[in-house]
Structure 1
Amino acid sequence: MPEGDTIYRLARRLGVLTGTQVQRSDFRVPRHATADLSGATVLGTTPRGKHLLTRFDHAGQALTLHTHLRMDGEWSIVGAGKMLPRRLMGDARLVLATTGATAIALRMPVVELLPTSAEEAVVGHLGPDLLDDTRPVAEVVAEATANLESQPDRALVSALLDQRLVLGLGNVWVNELSFLRGHLPLTPISEVDVGALVRLAARAMRFAVQPGGPGRVTTGNTRPGQRYYVYGRTGEPCRRCGTKLEFSPEVPNDPEVRHTWWCPRCQV
């Protein structure tokens, strides 16, 4: 599933629609099959963790398009008047043709159109977003820290993945942060300096979304296969101490147990 920094960059790409007017909309989901955004002005797209909120002014009515990529969804953006090849359009769940670019939601599992005033119904249960640029970073970090510390007996990795506590962290970040802070994945939250970990997470994620930057990297090495310390490196040597990395597979249908990698020497 795409992580918060990926969604943040995607929202930036969808920003090309901001200020344009919808010429044609085609909702290919049963719930909104008759919806029509023609004539609406695109006000912008805001990321909220792994969620996207695209707002419109439709003849004075404030509407929000809520999308979530989950594992397979994708937004494709093409030039004005253009369309994707026919072989791909069978996966389209929404087409937004504007006076600027055209945006096409492919295999999108969540496509919801709702009044902007009702946004909290779909994202109000979520925790603070580490990439929220409308609030001071210290305020976001403090709220996320308090949320995590409220569950002292919970394993570090499962707590960090809980979007109700803190937004945007996925399995890559969680595994890498555990390594960087020297904690075994199942360490109870009560044994972790949560504030330091959340500050590191916010700093790393904000670095990852810098325009023109290297993107997500924790090692400082952007060469292929060198970006991460532990994630995806089953059985390989630790980049710091050379110890063989260990791996634990996810448990199907259990969101608390995901693929996990760690160094048995560097993480204690």
Structure 2
Amino acid sequence: MPEGDTVWNTAQVLRAALAGRRLTGSDFRVPRLATVELTGWVALDCLSRGKHLLIRLAAPDDRRFTLHSHLRMDGSWRVYRSGQRWASRPAHLIRAVLRTTDAAAVGYHLHELVVVQTAREAELTAGSGPDLLGADWDAAEAVRRLAAQPDVTVAEGLLDQRNLAGVGNVYACEVLFLRGVAPWTPVREVPDLTALVELAHRLLLANRGRSRRTITGLPQEATYVYGRAHRPCRRCGTTVRRAELAGRVSYWCPNCQPDQRGDAARPALPPPPAAGRWPR
């Protein structure tokens, strides 16, 4: 699942493959870009903004444009060497291809694909909150935006990219576990929003550049609660719970993340799995 660190890492891979190189071909398999041809254009840079990917380009007449894509839940970019088989995902999911003499950058199941003048680039991400991995990260502004919605659950608040850009479901679950906050707690009842936001920032920074994300610091036991429903909590041994909350699946430890309002406040729990089956 692409989160802020995944998107940042993807931008670095694309930068290494494309930046400073002239495109020898392009192929867009979405209606709005079907007639766009970037052959002869130069890729200037690749960067991320929350979950947005921006590839800056120079046209032959030196006008500047940006190719924008969003990974959402299932998008990805892959870079292949020239002549290498594109085998990582089914071909029918390909939405964009950028070729150089040495490589091909292939975008699978991309969303919001558009080419705009670079001068208008900021319009593409105007609704995003402070970028956790951006040079302009502003923790105080992220806290202010979270606090402006006091009645939403803290899990929803963290996942809302208008509050802070880059947190996905993995980080939301893990940050709340580490802070001892139940995911359905209203934002107004979270004891220390600043500490919550700063922890999210530190965790994304720690995983920036890693080939495999880890919250625990152990690559083989990467998460505390995410994806561990019906298994023992790594901290206390209590069974980790899983439930749908505002359309997303949340994981938590009922002992490490107690709800002071009692069981009535919890979302409905699904039945435990059949023996030997551990749903993620």
TM-superposition CA deviations, 1:145-202 (whole Å, max 9, x none): 1111111222100000000111010100000000000001111212221111111110
Q: Which runs of 5+ in 2 are unaligned?
A: 259-280
Aligned to 1:221: 218
CA shift for structure 1 position 234: 0.9
TM-superposition CA deviations, 1:39-69 (whole Å, max 9, x none): 1111111111111010001121111111112
Aligned to 1:13: 13
Aligned to 1:28: 29
| C-alpha separation in 1, matches of 2:103 and 2:155 | 40
CA shift for structure 1 position 88: 4.3
Picking from 232, 235, 239, the partner of 2:230 is: 235
Shift in alpha-carbon separation, 1:109–1:214, aligned structure 2, 3 A: closer
TM-score using structure 2 length: 0.85
| C-alpha separation in 2, matches of 1:83 and 1:31 | 27
Aligned to 2:112: 110
Say whether residues 1:201 and 2:200 are aligned partners: yes
Aligned to 1:189: 187
Any conservation in 2 of the 1:158–1:257 contact (CA below 8 Å)? no
Shifted more, 226-235 versus 105-114: the winner is 105-114
Shift in alpha-carbon separation, 1:245–1:91, aligned structure 2, 3 A: closer
Aligned-pair RMSD on alpha carbons?
A: 1.8
Letter in 2 for 1:56: L
Letter in 2 for 1:121: E
| C-alpha separation in 2, matches of 1:98 and 1:54 | 14
Aligned to 2:39: 38
Alignment of 1:116-131 (within 5 A): 116-131=118-133
SS in 1 for 2:239: coil
TM-score using structure 1 length: 0.89
Shift in alpha-carbon separation, 1:146–1:81, aligned structure 2, 3 A: same
Aligned to 2:274: none
Letter in 2 for 1:3: E
Q: Which runs of 5+ in 1 are unaligned?
A: 251-255
Shift in alpha-carbon separation, 1:83–1:221, aligned structure 2, 3 A: closer
Letter in 1 for 2:207: A
Letter in 2 for 1:23: T
Any conservation in 2 of the 1:83–1:102 contact (CA below 8 Å)? no
Say whether residues 1:245 and 2:247 are aligned partners: no
Alignment of 1:157-176 (within 5 A): 157-176=155-174
| C-alpha separation in 2, matches of 1:246 and 1:214 | 28
| C-alpha separation in 2, matches of 1:194 and 1:238 | 24
Any conservation in 2 of the 1:56–1:64 contact (CA below 8 Å)? yes
Any conservation in 2 of the 1:65–1:112 contact (CA below 8 Å)? yes
Work out the number of aligned pairs and report it.
254
Any conservation in 2 of the 1:214–1:222 contact (CA below 8 Å)? no
Letter in 2 for 1:62: R
